[in-house]
Chains A and B, each alone.
Chain A
Amino acid sequence: MSPATATRSKLTDQPNPQTTQDVARELARQLEPARADASIKIKARNVDFFYGQKQVLQGISMDVRERKITALIGPSGCGKTTFLRILNRMYETVKHARAEGEVHLDTDNIFDLPLPNLRRRVGMVFQKPNPFPKSIFDNVAYGPRVHGLAGGARLAELVEQSLRGAALWDEVKDSLHKSGFSLSGGQQQRLSIARALAIDPEVLLLDEPCSALDPISTAKIEELLFTIENRCTLVIVTHNMAQAARVADYTGFFLMGKLVEFNDTKTVFTNPAKKETEDYITGRFG
């Protein structure tokens, strides 16, 4: 492990405490109730997905645990991103795309929820940092304004909280009026996260959030995920198996439109039940 990525690893359960914060976080973690007790935030049952006539997902069933990090891994084109985009119904922007089956967010069927409502509860961070052509402040304030959550001093407070939540506040507090484009790639991605956090989502979906970033920025984002985990359920799609091993409590392995294996990360990486999973993890394909 390079120094840049020497953060705590959930795979080995051997923290590498470097700061008192790390130690404190690890103590807090040990005091948490056992993993299996975490309640189910998203329950997907027999989800099929089609582009026109072409079926790209087959019978996906998965329980996403509340305030845990769930990673979706698999080779390109396996359907992991497609599955992620079902959870906030982002797939609906594509014509002739169709999902079947059941997905519940708590007790609500996501296909019955009004879109603004669903997307307020289920946020998303994209592969490419995507600041809007607005100031840093207005980027973060965008969601709260759309949903009419706050104005004036309360909005400024909310923007600050969100930027702090994305570990960006100290870097931008004196330049909130500057364009979001003026930030570096890693900062832009944290701005995207702050923007998503500003509407206080219950679930945050991350679609390969680090694939366009350098290792140092990646480490910062991964570290950030551990703090966001305390307030929100995280589902992350990643190409990077080491990243899944580092950050995720649970891991799902997708292959050719099917969920081959879904279990806690340690089991998936050290004692996979399926041969395909083992082959992929040991680098035999993909």
Chain B
Amino acid sequence: MNAVMSLATALCALVAVVPLLFVLGLLVVKGASSLNLAFFTKLPVPVGETGGGIANAIVGSGQLLLLAAVFGVPLGVLGGIYLSEFGGWGVPFLVRYAADLLVTVPSIVIGIFAYAVVVLPVGHFSALAGGFALGVMLLPIVVTNTEQFLRTVPVWLREGSLALGAGHWKTIVSVVVPTALQGILTGILLALARVAGETAPLIFTAFNNAYWNRGWNQPISSLPYMIWIYGISAYDDWHRMAWAAALVLLALVLLVNVLARLVLARRMATRRAV
């Protein structure tokens, strides 16, 4: 019986991993051949011309993520501190519930929200609007993650600081947050990796730009948007570019993921030393 069940679960696990491997394999097969130095350094060229690259989309994605972090991280971390350290019933319950709901809101809805509050008043698409939309997506993930890691800080560590006459806030800033810092950072990296691939919130906000970014208040190119536009086009050349861009995006997300897990592994190592 044990042998049967372990075989069955192993098969299920294998089946679960197959789609991932399939996607990865397909991307490498279809995209790798289009990768060259120009792909990473040059701007896109018009249909019909050969060569060109997606350098503006790579840089644009980076800028959008930076903006998302500026909007989402400080608010998210402070919100997480509030929930963990001043929590209880009432307001904290509502905040936690709202964060849980916000995670499940379809990203296209967040895009429309950002369109309504940033794009419409300003009158045009912009990197700021795109960064804002991604920041809104980032916010609940960072809040929830920060709260969870702060809650793992042992009570005797907090009491060690309180017993020395330090106040509540001093204890949070000097002892509690530093203890959970690596976990919090890991969560931020994973959240950034998660929103890096979002296309829907950018359609109504950052839009697109075939050239280098001309300013934070101008439309900006990004990898997911590029993949979408090139993917639904009618040109084989653009299709090849889309595959290659998808491979680059996946590689970047994977890189951030691995980085985040390395940070977390180091944290666990110091924990064990306690």
Q: Which of A115, A118, A179, A182 has the most CB of B within 10 A?
A: A115
- Stretch of A32-40, A41-49, A65-73, A191-199 that contacts chain B: A191-199
Cβ–Cβ contact B156 & A195, under 8 A: no
Q: Does A120 contact B (CB under 8 A)?
A: yes
Q: Does B25 contact A (CB under 8 A)?
A: no
Cβ–Cβ contact B160 & A192, under 8 A: yes
Q: How far is the CB of A137 from chain B (nearest CB, A)?
A: 14
Of the candidates A93, A133, A134, A196, the one whose C-beta lies within 8 Å of that of B164 is: A196
Q: Does B165 contact A (CB under 8 A)?
A: yes
Q: Does B175 contact A (CB under 8 A)?
A: yes
- Stretch of B97-105, B142-150, B166-174 that contacts chain A: B166-174
Within 8 A of A (CB), among B124-174: 154-167, 170, 174
Of the candidates A117, A124, A127, A182, the one whose C-beta lies within 8 Å of that of B163 is: A124
Give chain B residues whose Cβ lies under 8 Å from the Cβ of A116.
Answer: 165-167
Bound complex: CA of A239 vs CA of B273, how far in Å? 26
Bound complex: CA of A118 vs CA of B274, how far in Å? 30
Cβ–Cβ contact A181 & B274, under 8 A: yes
Give chain B residues whose Cβ lies under 8 Å from the Cβ of A192.
Answer: 160
Give chain A residues whose Cβ lies under 8 Å from the Cβ of B273.
Answer: 181-182
User: Which chain B residue lies CB-closest to A144?
Assistant: B164
Q: Which of A88, A130, A196 has the most CB of B within 10 A?
A: A130
Number of A-B contacts (CB under 8 A): 72
Q: Does B6 contact A (CB under 8 A)?
A: no
Cβ–Cβ contact A119 & B178, under 8 A: no
Q: Does B186 contact A (CB under 8 A)?
A: no
Cβ–Cβ contact A199 & B178, under 8 A: no
Chain B interface extent, by class:
20 to 34
Give chain A residues whose Cβ lies under 8 Å from the Cβ of B2.
Answer: none
Bound complex: CA of A179 vs CA of B179, how far in Å? 12
Q: How far is the CB of A122 from chain B (nearest CB, A)?
A: 9
Of the candidates B157, B162, B270, the one whose C-beta lies within 8 Å of that of A132 is: B157
Bound complex: CA of A279 vs CA of B179, how far in Å? 45
Cβ–Cβ contact B157 & A130, under 8 A: yes
Give chain B residues whose Cβ lies under 8 Å from the Cβ of A120.
Answer: 164-165
Given contacts A134-B178, A146-B170, A182-B273, A119 and B156 within 8 Å (CB-CB) = no
Cβ–Cβ contact B178 & A147, under 8 A: no
Give chain A residues whose Cβ lies under 8 Å from the Cβ of B159.
Answer: 90, 93, 124, 126, 130
Cβ–Cβ contact B164 & A199, under 8 A: yes
User: Which chain B residue lies CB-closest to A182?
Assistant: B273
Bound complex: CA of A93 vs CA of B163, how far in Å? 11
Bound complex: CA of A117 vs CA of B170, how far in Å? 15
Contact with B along A173-217 (1 / 0, CB 8 A): 000000101100000000010011001000000000000000000
Cβ–Cβ contact A117 & B161, under 8 A: no
Q: Does A123 contact B (CB under 8 A)?
A: yes
Given contacts A132-B174, A181-B270, A126 and B156 within 8 Å (CB-CB) = yes
Cβ–Cβ contact B178 & A142, under 8 A: no
Bound complex: CA of A146 vs CA of B155, how far in Å? 20
Q: Does A128 contact B (CB under 8 A)?
A: yes
Bound complex: CA of A284 vs CA of B95, how far in Å? 53
Within 8 A of A (CB), among B159-212: 159-167, 170, 174-175, 178-179
Cβ–Cβ contact B174 & A90, under 8 A: no
Q: Which of B159, B160, B170 has the most CB of A within 10 A?
A: B160
Q: How far is the CB of A131 from chain B (nearest CB, A)?
A: 8
Within 8 A of B (CB), among A131-158: 132-134, 142-143, 146-147
Give chain B residues whose Cβ lies under 8 Å from the Cβ of A147.
Answer: 165
Given contacts A93-B159, A134-B178, A195 and B165 within 8 Å (CB-CB) = no
Give chain B residues whose Cβ lies under 8 Å from the Cβ of A128.
Answer: 154, 156
Given contacts A126-B156, A181-B273, A133 and B178 within 8 Å (CB-CB) = yes
Give chain A residues whose Cβ lies under 8 Å from the Cβ of B166.
Answer: 116, 142-143, 146
Cβ–Cβ contact B163 & A123, under 8 A: yes
Q: How far is the CB of B99 from chain A (nearest CB, A)?
A: 23
Bound complex: CA of A88 vs CA of B173, how far in Å? 22
User: Which chain A residue lies CB-closest to B166?
Assistant: A146
Give chain A residues whose Cβ lies under 8 Å from the Cβ of B165.
Answer: 115-120, 143, 146-147, 199
Would you mind naming 27 contact pairs between A and B with Cβ atoms under 8 Å apart? A90-B162, A93-B158, A118-B165, A119-B164, A120-B164, A123-B163, A124-B159, A127-B156, A128-B154, A130-B156, A130-B157, A132-B160, A132-B161, A132-B175, A132-B178, A132-B179, A133-B178, A133-B179, A133-B270, A142-B174, A143-B165, A146-B164, A146-B165, A146-B166, A181-B270, A181-B273, A195-B164
**B residues adjacent to A (C-beta < 8 A):** 154-167, 170, 174-175, 178-179, 270, 273-274
Kindly list 19 other residue pairs between chains A and B, CB separation below 8 angstroms, not including A132-B178, A143-B164.
A93-B159, A117-B165, A120-B164, A120-B165, A123-B164, A130-B159, A130-B160, A132-B157, A132-B160, A132-B161, A132-B175, A133-B179, A142-B164, A142-B174, A143-B166, A181-B273, A192-B160, A199-B164, A199-B165
